[in-house]
Amino acid sequence: MQATIALLPGDGIGPEVVAEGVEVLKAVGERYGHSFSFSEGLIGGCAIDAHGTALPEATIDVCRAADAVLLGAVGGPKWDDPKAKVRPEQGLLGIRKTLGLYANLRPVTVTPALASRSPLRPDLVEGVDLLVVRELTGGIYFGDKTCVYIRPDEEQAVDTCVYTTSEIERVVRRACELARTRRGKVTSVDKANVLETSRLWRRVASRVVAEEFPEIQLEHILVDACAMHLLRRPADFDVIVTENMFGDILTDEASMLAGSLGLLPSASLGAGKAGLYEPIHGSAPDIAGKGIANPLATILSVALLLRYSLGLKAEAEAVEKAVYATIDAGILTGDLAPAGQGRSTKEVGAAVLERLG
Amino acid sequence: MQATIALLPGDGIGPEVVAEGVEVLKAVGERYGHSFSFSEGLIGGCAIDAHGTALPEATIDVCRAADAVLLGAVGGPKWDDPKAKVRPEQGLLGIRKTLGLYANLRPVTVTPALASRSPLRPDLVEGVDLLVVRELTGGIYFGDKTCVYIRPDEEQAVDTCVYTTSEIERVVRRACELARTRRGKVTSVDKANVLETSRLWRRVASRVVAEEFPEIQLEHILVDACAMHLLRRPADFDVIVTENMFGDILTDEASMLAGSLGLLPSASLGAGKAGLYEPIHGSAPDIAGKGIANPLATILSVALLLRYSLGLKAEAEAVEKAVYATIDAGILTGDLAPAGQGRSTKEVGAAVLERLG
Ligand SMILES: CC(C)[C@H](C(=O)O)[C@@H](O)C(=O)O
Ligand SMILES: CC(C)[C@H](C(=O)O)[C@@H](O)C(=O)O
């Protein structure tokens, strides 16, 4: 097949890890006879430096013209002032919203080789294989925001959390479709004992499952309880579906099950086939430019890209197998290797390519 | 001293654990020559059954007339319908708001005897001694809420998160005062890269510390990062201060460090000395009435009551020592004991009384 992939390397370690992702895409293209072409755009801090905005129009055009987007990371100390009008994460939030990518998939799989790296007891995390589907274009992230003086010395800040029936329906539907290809279980997470948006969420989730997915086993749990159960019984979860802010917190918590952020990919999907793929980790300015960042989360994001946007299932599985074989062979960057034995970004990338053979 | 304690046993295991707390208060009174008297009120599901409201006026009067309030737990399957107009947790939210209890203290301490009960690796949790100060009367819990049809088949739900300068100031101040008596470190948690309320939170926290607590070491972290760091480096935290919803999620996550919710007390404080004390756990309807609930979180809440509302420091420490001695002696309810060796609520309560000697 022919496909165009838009690359948004971004800031910090973004360019280094995206470079390894591109190598994997090229290798897959060669070995399986696909022709992938690449376009590139600026996003985040580097876009602010070049164009004064975190999401230039040209970047949006590049993404719209592509079959899928591979993103590195955005942000860094240079652009960190929360009072600034222009901030790197506006690029990330903007591209998600502009492309209508309402479903953010964050799988967490704990391989036996890595169970001992988790802060949790190995017996608890072994066999964990869960998928968080986070709503990505609604909720308190995108509602009205204000901050005004209501008296001298007294400011009042307001954020608004909004959800509509159809926003909830589509992401719950996506979660159920994914659960159908897995263990058939969906855990919907809300705070229905306090929030109106959560009460609507719970009603809509129940109805969608009852009407459209009678074979799915649905449970509702409160977000605070979920934060506990993720630690107490992580292997029980199959698909978790939740709203934007809860998903942000719970996925970062869940990422610790796998021991390192450096392994966790994500896919952000909308109505069509196009999607945006990015590692969960940030731009890690402290190690940027040193060639030691872990490229595996980005390479696993490439696997998701092959699967969800290009429909290349065998290729996706081959990439995932190559990554796990690399981990099993102990070829790891410093975040996962025993002290002093960390390999470089390029060495780990090359080890994956070798195993893709 | 003389003091009146209002008891709000509530639902489920609430009455059973509050009864043990009362025994401890009586014993402290006898041994240290204080005269404690008790009043009682209905709250939650039992109040709904009796009066059609989760927080009857009479209960508010009882609380206002008391020096401190000891609460059990509210809720249960009988009142669980999220569509119901009257729900048990309205009692809890209502009493917090009515009494102006804006600072919710949730200490998490991991004793060596219990480190092995944690889902986290014992080496990570040993020595954990952190205190979360959660803002309790503001934020998305108490902002305007609506749910309306904006088209046939399309509902729109809205929750509003509001914070003002003074609401943030007072809770940050309380956190700093507490940190001063501990290791002098405060971690303020927000989502300043997305929310206006968080940007205000961060600005005010920085100013309060700079102007009033120059000796305090302040760090700001994002809520998603905090959810990770609580697992990766829990022993690094001293005092964590955060807004209402983030505090709800993070304290439930942090509670897992100690292995069981059954051990975790909380104090909710306002401007004066009065306060409300309750175990963090819920009403546990599945084990209610069986006499097997863990009373230690309630007894530790009694210790906080003695310390913060009555100013009885030595008495508070004696209660805490007695609880830890009971744990070390292995006299534990089923949630903590090896299978089949769980003691009853009353046995554990009696063991604490004995050690209070
Ligand atoms: C950078 C930030 C705005 C973003 C989010 O909160 O969505 C990040 O934490 C993520 O999870 O992708
Ligand atoms: C019962 C519920 C409303 C409450 C809250 O969210 O505050 C509880 O979870 C708590 O943490 O005390």
Cβ contact, residue pair A162, B157, below 8 Å? yes
Q: Take atom 11 of ligand 2 and give the residue whose Cα is closest.
A: B248
- Average pLDDT of chain B is 96
How high is the pLDDT of residue B117? 84
Last residue of a domain, one of A260, A280, A300: A260
Of the partner residues B155, B192, B249, the one whose CB lies closest to the CB of residue A165: B155
Count the Cβ atoms, other than its own, within 10 Å of residue B61.
Answer: 13
CA A248 to ligand 1 centroid distance, Å: 7
Q: Take atom 9 of ligand 2 and give the residue whose Cα is closest.
A: B248
- Give the chain A residue nearest B140 (alpha carbons): A195
Q: Do A239 and A299 fall within a single domain? A: no
pLDDT band at A242 (very low <50, low <70, confident <90, very high): very high
pLDDT band at B119 (very low <50, low <70, confident <90, very high): very high
Write the secondary structure of A2-58 as one string of H (helix), E (strand) and C (coil).
EEEEEEEEECCCHHHHHHHHHHHHHHHHHHHCCEEEEEECCCCHHHHHHHCCCCCHH
Residues of B in contact with A199 (CB under 8 A): 82-83, 147, 157
Residue that wins the pLDDT comparison between B81 and B238: B238
Q: Do B290 and B321 fall within a single domain? A: yes
Q: Do A277 and A201 fall within a single domain? A: no
How high is the pLDDT of residue A84? 85
| Percent of chain A clearing pLDDT 90 (strictly above) | 92
Residue B243 belongs to a domain with what CATH number? 3.40.718.10
Q: Do B96 and B145 fall within a single domain? A: no
What's the pLDDT tens digit per position in B305-341? 999 999 999 999 999 999 999 999 999 999 989 899 9
- Establish if A311 belongs to a structural domain: yes
Count the Cβ atoms, other than its own, within 10 Å of residue A151.
Answer: 10
Cβ–Cβ under 8 Å, residues A319 and A299: yes
| Percent of chain B clearing pLDDT 90 (strictly above) | 92
Cβ contact, residue pair A228, B261, below 8 Å? yes
- Establish if A51 belongs to a structural domain: yes
Residue A260 has pLDDT above 90, yes or no: no
Q: Do B77 and B172 fall within a single domain? A: no
Of the partner residues B120, B159, B165, the one whose CB lies closest to the CB of residue A119: B120
Q: Do A131 and A251 fall within a single domain? A: yes
Of the partner residues A147, A160, A231, the one whose CB lies closest to the CB of residue B119: A231
- Give residue A33's identity as a one-letter amino acid code: G
- Establish if A9 belongs to a structural domain: yes
How high is the pLDDT of residue B262? 87
Asked whether B89 lines ligand 2 (CB < 6 A), one says yes
Would you state the structure tokens that stand for residue B270, as one six-digit string?
A: 């306002």
Annotated catalytic residue A49? no
Q: Which of B297, B286, B276, B351 is nearest to B21 (CA)?
A: B297
Ligand nearest to the CA of A11: 1
pLDDT band at A321 (very low <50, low <70, confident <90, very high): very high
Q: Which of B71, B151, B143 is nearest to B104 (CA)?
A: B71
Closest-CA distance, A222 to chain B, in angstroms, reads 9
How high is the pLDDT of residue B112? 82
Cβ contact, residue pair A159, B87, below 8 Å? no
Residues of B in contact with A224 (CB under 8 A): 248-249, 251-252
Residues of B in contact with A230 (CB under 8 A): 253
Would you state the structure tokens that stand for residue B114, as one six-digit string?
A: 């219990």
- Give the chain A residue nearest B87 (alpha carbons): A193
How high is the pLDDT of residue A80? 84
Q: Which of A276, A296, A234, A233 is nearest to A108 (CA)?
A: A234
Handedness of CA A322, A328, A333, A335 (dihedral sign): positive
Ligand nearest to the CA of B93: 2
Cβ–Cβ under 8 Å, residues A54 and A76: no
Write the secondary structure of chain A as one string of H (helix), E (strand) and C (coil).
CEEEEEEEEECCCHHHHHHHHHHHHHHHHHHHCCEEEEEECCCCHHHHHHHCCCCCHHHHHHHHCCCEEEEEECCCHHHCCCCCCCCCHHHHHHHHHHCCCCEEEEEEECCHHHHHHCCECHHHHCCCEEEEEEECCCHHHCCCEEEEEEECCEEEEEEEEEEEHHHHHHHHHHHHHHHHCCCCEEEEEECCCCCHHHHHHHHHHHHHHHHHCCCCEEEEEEHHHHHHHHHHCHHHCCEEEECHHHHHHHHHHHHHHHCCHHHCEEEEECCCCCEEEEECCCCCHHHCCCCCCCCHHHHHHHHHHHHHCCCCHHHHHHHHHHHHHHHHCCCCCCCCCCCCCCCCHHHHHHHHHHHHC
Q: What is the mean pLDDT of residues B88-107?
A: 97
Q: What is the mean pLDDT of residues B275-290?
A: 96
Contact residues for B165 (Cβ-Cβ < 8 A; gap 6+): A153, A154, A155, A156, B200, B204
CA B141 to ligand 2 centroid distance, Å: 10
Count the Cβ atoms, other than its own, within 10 Å of residue A193.
Answer: 18
Q: Do A211 and A195 fall within a single domain? A: yes
Ligand-binding annotation for B79, yes or no, is: yes
Q: Do B251 and B294 fall within a single domain? A: no
- Average pLDDT of chain A is 96
Handedness of CA B86, B88, B91, B94 (dihedral sign): negative
Residue B83 has pLDDT above 80, yes or no: no
- Establish if A25 belongs to a structural domain: yes
Q: Which of B216, B183, B222 is nearest to B201 (CA)?
A: B222
Q: Poorest-confidence range of A105-119, B182-196, B312-326?
A: A105-119
Q: Do B235 and B277 fall within a single domain? A: no
Cβ contact, residue pair A249, B145, below 8 Å? no
Residues of A in contact with B86 (CB under 8 A): none
Which DSSP helix (H) or strand (E) runs through B7? strand B2-10
Last residue of a domain, one of B229, B263, B297: B263
How high is the pLDDT of residue B357? 81
Ligand-binding annotation for B85, yes or no, is: yes
Q: What is the mean pLDDT of residues A19-38?
A: 98
**What is the number of structural domains in chain B?**
2
Closest-CA distance, B348 to chain A, in angstroms, reads 24
CA A89 to ligand 1 centroid distance, Å: 7
Query: In which domain, by residue range, is A318 found?
Result: 1-101+270-357
Contact residues for B100 (Cβ-Cβ < 8 A; gap 6+): B137, B270, B271
- Establish if A265 belongs to a structural domain: no
User: B203 in helix, strand or coil?
Assistant: helix
Q: Do A256 and A295 fall within a single domain? A: no
Annotated catalytic residue A224? yes
- Give the chain B residue nearest A225 (alpha carbons): B252
Q: Take atom 10 of ligand 1 and give the residue whose Cα is closest.
A: A248
Cβ contact, residue pair A159, B197, below 8 Å? yes
- Establish if A69 belongs to a structural domain: yes
Of the partner residues B160, B162, B231, the one whose CB lies closest to the CB of residue A256: B231
Annotated catalytic residue A335? no
Neighbour-count burial of A230, counting CB atoms closer than 10 A to its CB (0-12 exposed, 13-18 middle, 19+ buried): buried
Q: What is the mean pLDDT of residues B260-283?
A: 94
Distance separating alpha carbons of residues B125 and A126, to the nearest angstrom:
20
Q: Do B96 and B107 fall within a single domain? A: no
What's the pLDDT tens digit per position in B12-52? 999 999 999 999 999 999 999 999 999 999 999 999 999 99
Would you state the structure tokens that stand for residue A262, as one six-digit string?
A: 């450096």
- Establish if A283 belongs to a structural domain: yes
Candidates A191, A277, A324, A335; catalytic one: A191
Q: Do A79 and A114 fall within a single domain? A: no
Contact residues for A9 (Cβ-Cβ < 8 A; gap 6+): A15, A18, A19, A40, A71, A72
pLDDT band at A351 (very low <50, low <70, confident <90, very high): very high
How high is the pLDDT of residue B346? 98
Contact residues for B119 (Cβ-Cβ < 8 A; gap 6+): A120, A121, A124, A231, A232, B256, B259
Cβ–Cβ under 8 Å, residues A97 and A211: no
Q: What is the mean pLDDT of residues A124-151?
A: 97
Q: What is the mean pLDDT of residues A188-202?
A: 96
Last residue of a domain, one of A260, A292, A314: A260
- Note the residue count of chain A: 357
What's the pLDDT tens digit per position in A203-238? 999 999 999 999 999 999 999 999 999 999 999 999
How high is the pLDDT of residue A170? 98
Query: Can you give the pTM of this predicted structure?
Result: 0.96
What's the pLDDT tens digit per position in B283-304? 999 999 999 999 999 999 999 9
Active-site residues of B: which are they?
141, 191, 224, 248, 252
Q: Which of B250, B5, B273, B276 is nearest to B131 (CA)?
A: B250
pLDDT band at A83 (very low <50, low <70, confident <90, very high): confident
How high is the pLDDT of residue A116? 83
Ligand-binding annotation for A47, yes or no, is: no
